[in-house]
Amino acid sequence: MSGFRADRRSRSPQALARFVPKLTRPALRGFSRAEAVLLTDWEEIVGRQVATYTQPVKLTFPKRDERINATLHLRVHPAMALDLQHSGDLLAERINTHFGYGLVARLRLIQAPLHRREERRPLSLPPDLPHDRAQVLERKLAGIEDGDLRKALEALARAVQGGNSS
């Protein structure tokens, strides 16, 4: 078992982005990449005001192998459906501008109450390190000239070491 850990540690550092697809695949199974982006970045794409009364449900494409000219099935608060029906072309244009191509050709509005997501709680700060551990950490980071990198590594080390009782 210890040989396995030593082998893993001997590898060079790897970019975190390399592991993201494997980690998110189970949660986004059955969704195209565009659907995943629509779901996760909806407010950024359409703006806060529109996002308060709409939610993307799914994309359906006219041809199985082509990922253009989709119908966006959109859950809309019933009180705002008529307004969105009139401004739907502008919304589709905004979405297509975000993606850089004609992803959405039409909207299909579903008048229904929105599903509310829970707000994420902010991460708590790690507990302070004991004085001796803090001094060791400062000595280890002293040789790093880039201030932003030094601060990021210090925050990471404090979070990791703060969670360890040994």
50-59 confidence digits (pLDDT tens): 999 999 999 9
Q: What is the pLDDT of residues 114-149, one digit of tens each?
A: 987 666 566 666 667 888 888 888 899 998 898 888
Q: Name the token pair of 51.
A: 């996002």
Measured CA to CA, the distance from residue 129 to residue 135 in angstroms comes to: 9
Q: Which residues pair with 104 in a beta bridge?
A: 70
Q: Name the token pair of 52.
A: 């308060």
Report the alpha-carbon angle 34-90-64, nearest 5.
Answer: 35
| Percentage of residues of the chain with pLDDT beyond 70 | 76
| Mean pLDDT value of segment 79-89 | 93
Measured CA to CA, the distance from residue 54 to residue 75 in angstroms comes to: 6
| Mean pLDDT value of segment 6-28 | 65
